[in-house]
Chain A
Amino acid sequence: MECQECHQRPATVHLTQVVNGQKSEIHVCEKCAKENGYMNYGEENFTLNDLLSGLFHSEGPSPLKGNTPHSYAQKPKLKCENCNLTYEEFARVGKFGCAECYKTFDDRLDPILRRVHSGNTRHDGKLPKREGGNLHLKREIEEHKTNLRQLIEQEEFEEAAKVRDKIRSLEDQLSKGEDGDG
């Protein structure tokens, strides 16, 4: 059946309209249905957020599991103390309310982040200069430690001792820095 409006595309939308008791049938294609207002699609685009919030919901308690009423009651609602955003709201909107939310919802984030970022859950990029002061040190220490393990495996103990000393001095620096920050 062809679309009765454009007579080009096949009719894929079939409607029965009753106006003042007069019944009529409409057969149109999706495009004409939209243009003539036969169908209301609401938000035009299915946004990334819709998809995301779909993902988040699957993380919440499933109604199929543990469907005794008190199993819900035992679990207090997860809510960010800083901005008052609940996990349910986060799941619905797909956006965090503040930096603290990341800590509050931390336990539930890994599966979500893994899906969005191809399996990744940890940052491996830039560290802020000022804010990340200690982090720069920590990352450097981590790198030296990996290096140290390799050296020990390769039985290069002389070199390993040097790296070990380097790690110690960096760790000293780190603990001083942390004291300084209070």
Chain B
Amino acid sequence: MSLQHFMNEAISPWMKQEGPDSDIVLSSRIRLARNFSQHPFPIIASEETLGHVLTFFKEEFQKQSFRDYKDFELVQMKDLQPIEKRVLVEKHLISPHLAEKAEKSASLISQNEQVSIMINEEDHIRIQLYFPGFQLDQALEQASQLDDWLEEKIDYAFDEKRGYLTACPTNVGTGMRASVMMHLPALSLTNQINRMTPAINQLGLVVRGIYGEGSEALGNIFQISNQITLGKSEEDIVEDLHSVVKQLIDQERKAREALMSRSSIQLEDRIFRSFGVLTNSRIIESKEAAQCLSDLRLGIDLGFIDHIPRTILNELMVLTQPGFLQQYAKDTLSPDERDIRRASLIRERLQLENEE
């Protein structure tokens, strides 16, 4: 029943608030990987063991609340249609990996969708917490408290020497992955981001596209996260990420200013052409849509377009993904049908802004 509520809205309630530096940073996320000490990890555990873990969560945490994260809803993978799973992936409430697992996997999602706790993914527990804008410190603090809340009832797999034990050696130690989603149109346009990536990598941080590992930077949205989880404290990891993101924000702002002073008319032209495409096209592929939406958002940030809210990028980026389009159509669609559907959905959504 409550599942419907996670399905209908393209953007999660927390996304509608504007956080600090939200002209560039879309969201901040902390993910913590945890395991039960007494059970084998999901990769090797029997169905029965995984069932125990799932039942435990259902009994202890279903409908529970912790601070602002109210009425946790346990969404089981076995109860979902493929399109519904895809929608949850597009909203980042579950990982693609979790969606592939059928039996005994679930996600415990808070009503405001700020927290999702994935159960029986690669690890028994993956706590995810999002904040709008650039708020890594707050996200870490809240995630850590949420972690303590779970630990009251769970014996975590922990070792004095190696820290929190995880299925994959790349997560051991803190089990933490901190990441920031950034919109960097000016750095992409001037090709500076490609030159900056190797330097960022050397600091133990990774730059990726919007849907994680191996994905393309659709719509000039980049995800920056830590690679190292062992030998540094959570606070130090977050601080390192923080300082790099801060620099990227400064560089992006400088690049935008430079573009504005040197080629303002070209930039304005590009933005309004993209706006034209979005408001008039009848067929549009997701890649083109993402690029045009990125231009539109830049136009809003730079003040060329003032009647459309900033959150349009976040909203339409999610809404025009294949899963959502099909959820809206209440039907499976071929790629060609999706492109038509996508175009009309964007037109209607932008029309709505004109009327207001």
**Taking beta carbons and an 8 Å cutoff, which residues of A are in contact with B?**
45, 47-49, 52, 82-83, 85, 93-99, 102-103, 109, 112-113, 116-132, 135, 138
Contact = CB atoms under 8 A, between A and B. Distances in A.
Interface string B126-167: 000000000000000000100110011001111111111111
Nearest to B171: A116
Contacts of B163: 123, 125-126
Contact of B204 (A95, A102, A118, A126): A118
A117 B173 contact: yes
A70 to B, nearest CB: 32
Interface stretch (B224-232, B260-268, B322-330, B340-348): B224-232
B214 A121 contact: no
B156 A131 contact: yes
A123 B174 contact: yes
B151 A131 contact: yes
Among A96, A112, A119, A125, the one with the most B-chain Cβ atoms within 10 Å of its Cβ is A125
A85 B43 CA distance: 11
A138 to B, nearest CB: 7
Contacts of B233: 124-126
Nearest to B167: A95
14 contacts: A47-B213, A49-B168, A52-B168, A52-B170, A82-B40, A93-B43, A96-B165, A98-B40, A102-B172, A103-B159, A122-B230, A123-B230, A126-B147, A126-B164
Given A83-B40, A119-B231, A129-B151, 5 more contacts: A99-B37, A102-B165, A112-B169, A123-B161, A128-B156
Among B39, B158, B204, the one with the most A-chain Cβ atoms within 10 Å of its Cβ is B158
A29 B279 CA distance: 37
B21 interface: no
Contacts of A118: 204, 228, 231
Contact of A113 (B41, B43, B169): B169
List of 3 A-B pairs having minimum Cβ-Cβ separation, nearest first: A120-B231, A123-B163, A99-B157
B44 interface: yes
Given A52-B170, A83-B44, A120-B231, A128 B162 contact: no
Nearest to A98: B40
A138 B160 contact: yes
B156 A122 contact: no
A130 B213 CA distance: 34
A85 B163 CA distance: 21
Nearest to B228: A117
A130 B150 CA distance: 11
Contacts of A135: 160
B44 A85 contact: yes
A123 B173 contact: yes
B84 interface: no
Contacts of B173: 117, 120, 123-125
Contacts of B166: 96
A117 B40 contact: no
Given A52-B170, A118-B204, A124-B233, A131 B158 contact: yes
A63 to B, nearest CB: 24
A52 to B, nearest CB: 7
A126 B144 contact: yes
A125 B44 contact: no
B122 interface: yes
Given A52-B169, A99-B37, A129-B151, A121 B44 contact: no
A93 B122 CA distance: 13
B18 interface: no
A128 B151 contact: yes
A123 B151 contact: no
B234 interface: yes
A135 B158 CA distance: 11
B162 A126 contact: no
Nearest to A99: B157
A106 to B, nearest CB: 8
Contacts of B237: 125
Contact of B231 (A93, A97, A112, A121): A121
A51 to B, nearest CB: 10
Nearest to B234: A125
Given A85-B44, A98-B44, A102-B159, A124 B169 contact: no
A25 B148 CA distance: 65
